Amino acid sequence: MIPTNVVVHQQSKVLELTYDNGNTYRLPFELLRVVSPSAEVQGHGPGQETLQTGKREVLIANIEPVGHYALKPSFSDGHDSGLYTWDYLHFLCENQEQIWKEHLDKLAAAGVDRDTPMNVAGGHSCSSH
């Protein structure tokens, strides 16, 4: 499902997606950043995810379309390797509360919170960096 309109709201830090059925969703930049579909965040297999923290203030510095199937945001923390397909964005829109709850549960399980700096939370570095 492809949105008919995409607006980046820097002030409120949300990506607004409007669909032709009239539904409008507002995805917080922080949510988009912590669930980035990139290998840097998701890892290269199950259990290799890197828990993202310290992203509350992250901004989308730039966003560009990739063909007719995805958006590629560049975040203010330098992260720009996530390709957000239209399907993935719609999935996030529809399941935002559940996804956010799962993220907060993972943070709690790891003994960190949203504002813990990434280097403290531990991480995974790909050789491509």
CATH of the domain at 59: 3.30.2020.30
| Mean pLDDT within 12-20 | 97
**Structural domain for 46, as ranges:** 5-121
Determine the Cα–Cα distance for residues 53 and 48; give it in Å rounded to an integer: 16
Q: Provide the phi-psi class of 15: left if phi over 0, else alpha when psi is between -120 and 50, else beta.
A: beta
Give residue 45's pLDDT.
82
Q: Is residue 126 part of a domain?
A: no
Both tokens of 19, joined, read 């669909």
Q: Is residue 35 part of a domain?
A: yes
Give the start-end residues of each E strand in the chain: 5-9, 14-18, 24-28, 60-66, 70-75, 84-85
41: DSSP letter: H
> What is the domain count for the chain?
1
| Mean pLDDT value across the chain | 91
Query: 16-25, 78-87, 113-122 — which is least confidently predicted?
Result: 113-122
Q: Is residue 66 part of a domain?
A: yes
Q: Is residue 128 part of a domain?
A: no
Please name the amino acid found at residue 22: G
| Mean pLDDT within 21-44 | 95
- For the stretch 67-113, pLDDT in tens is 999 999 999 999 999 999 999 999 999 999 999 999 999 999 999 99
